[in-house]
Amino acid sequence: MVPVSNEWNYLFDMDGVLVREEHLIPGADTLIAELREQGTPFMVLTNNSIYTPRDLRARLLNTGLDIPEESIWTSALATAQFLQTQRPGGSAYVVGESGLTTALHNVGYVMTERDPDYVVLGETRTYSFEAITRAIRLVRNGARFIATNPDETGPSAEGPLPATGAVAALIEKATGRRPYFVGKPNPLMMRSALRRIGAHSESALMVGDRMDTDVLSGLEAGLQTVLVLSGISGRETAEEFPYRPTRVIGSVKDLVGRTGDPFGEQE
């Protein structure tokens, strides 16, 4: 039974839920405008660690979505926050882009190639053999191994691209050290996003397009979950998993006008 809440707090995955390959998913702009007009707390989440919230805001604006920087939560930000709580003012060797290095700098971390506390692996457009080799040697020498997210592939117009999880597997194989993944499906990312908006899991829901990341992490963080069929997981494939979302809908368009009662009877 779904608990009744006077005010739901929303967490959204980005790709496949609000946008798809740089194009707005119909109804996403209307839904976000409704949430902002009502003052309903929400966060947009992404496992992609390449971009800063400012970069992502600009990207979303180009699709027609007006989302403030402070309402965007990335695996890079979650990773930086996690490391700050674990080892404040530490050091890291980073394989990644500006989204990750900026997040780490902002929490007071120092980037170094010499005896770092952590090797931090994130998404990057051009994985360097030299950088991966250095990461392997540092991990073998005792650096703790952190990865922003476990996604093995990412999308592109030409087809799938190797992503953080695939490169993490390479480093793990060479070192015998398994990384700690901070991003989805780790519920840590959900909880850190909820803290950002001062929300409690009992009155929050996760809207995503993937059963194995969005729905799983929402479930494990104690949230209600909504699976949209506008991205990766379909209605049939969703049935293959041993867990189920609270509700399955076609797209976020089906939430427009229902944000206060997303689990009520549908027309």
CB under 8 Å to 107, separation ≥6 — which residues? 80, 81, 83, 84
Q: Which of 13, 151, 214, 254 is catalytic?
A: 13
Question: Which one-letter amino acid corresponds to residue 262?
Answer: P
The SS3 assignment for 10 reads strand
CB under 8 Å to 130, separation ≥6 — which residues? none
Contact 259, 38 (CB under 8 A): yes
Contact 117, 91 (CB under 8 A): yes
The SS3 assignment for 212 reads helix
- Nearest Cα neighbor of 149 from 120, 112, 111 is 120
- Nearest Cα neighbor of 136 from 93, 92, 91, 175 is 175
The SS3 assignment for 218 reads helix
Tally DSSP H helices, then E strands, for the chain.
9, 15
Rounded CA-CA distance 7/259 in Å is 9
Which structure tokens are listed for 121? Answer: 């692996």
* Residue 15 among the catalytic residues: yes
Q: Are strands 153-154 and 19-20 parallel, antiparallel or unpaired?
A: unpaired
Q: Which of 15, 29, 151, 214 is catalytic?
A: 15
Q: Are strands 110-111 and 144-147 parallel, antiparallel or unpaired?
A: unpaired
Residues with active-site annotation: 13, 15
